[in-house]
Amino acid sequence: MSDSPDAYAYQAPDAAEPVPVKLTVNGAPYAAEVEARRSLVDVLRRDLDLTGTRVGCETGVCGSCTVLLDGEPVRACAVLAVQADGQQVETVESLAGDDGRLGPLQQSFKDHFALQCGFCTPGFLMLGTALLRDDPTPDRERIRSCVAANLCRCTGYRPIVDAIEAVTR
């Protein structure tokens, strides 16, 4: 037995050690080796060049980085890429049509002036998408409750609620 205090110390794996990750992102397969410490948003933006997903607070509070992971909204800055291994990831880029035209919810955001600076918009679009898949006809209170999860410093939320509600009609 060693008398060294380090002899029994927990040895965490090196967070910089590459780990294999396989994801399906917006319907396309993706496989790579990434450092275990890298966030999902970092892999999406840097490795896949999907820059629609924003990085706001980097602590999971603001919601700008919201993506769908197996259909559920998550904060991509608070999810490690290795945690998403084997899962389906949908980003805001998935909402546009194949021809590049805005999807229905995106068009409604435009029509209802539900964006000003636009920084938070991708997160709200992904929240709205998840909500409408779960409940195609949510009432206004349910929409308000849903969008309260993300922060917007420009719109005051009403146009965002109006835009999501308009898609249900």
pLDDT in tens, 102-121: 999 999 999 999 998 999 99
Would you place residue 1 in the very low, low, confident or very high pLDDT band (cuts 50, 70, 90)? low
120 and 161 belong to one structural domain? yes
Q: What is the C-alpha separation between 80 and 76, in angstroms, rounded?
A: 8
Sequence-distant contacts of 110-117: CB under 8 A, at least 24 apart: 111/163, 111/166, 112/159, 112/162, 112/163, 112/166, 113/155, 113/159, 114/155, 114/159, 114/160, 114/162, 114/163, 115/154, 115/155, 115/159, 116/154, 116/155, 117/153, 117/154
- The string of pLDDT tens digits covering residues 7-48 is 666 555 566 789 999 999 999 999 999 999 999 999 999 999
Among candidate residues 94, 116, 136, the one where a domain is terminated = 94
Residue 4 lies in a domain: no
Q: Is residue 13 part of a domain?
A: no
Asked if 113 and 161 sit in the same domain, the reply is yes
Q: What is the pLDDT of residue 9?
A: 63
Kindly report which listed range (13-17, 94-98, 146-150) carries the lowest average pLDDT score: 13-17
Residue 160, φ and ψ in degrees, nearest 5: -65, -45
Instruction: Confirm whether 10 is domain-assigned.
Output: no
> Can you give the residue range of the structural domain that contains 139?
104-166
Considering 55-59, 85-89, 95-99, the range whose residues carry the highest mean pLDDT is: 85-89
Last residue of a domain, one of 94, 118, 141: 94
CB 147 within 8 A of CB 156: no
CATH number for the domain including 28? 3.10.20.30
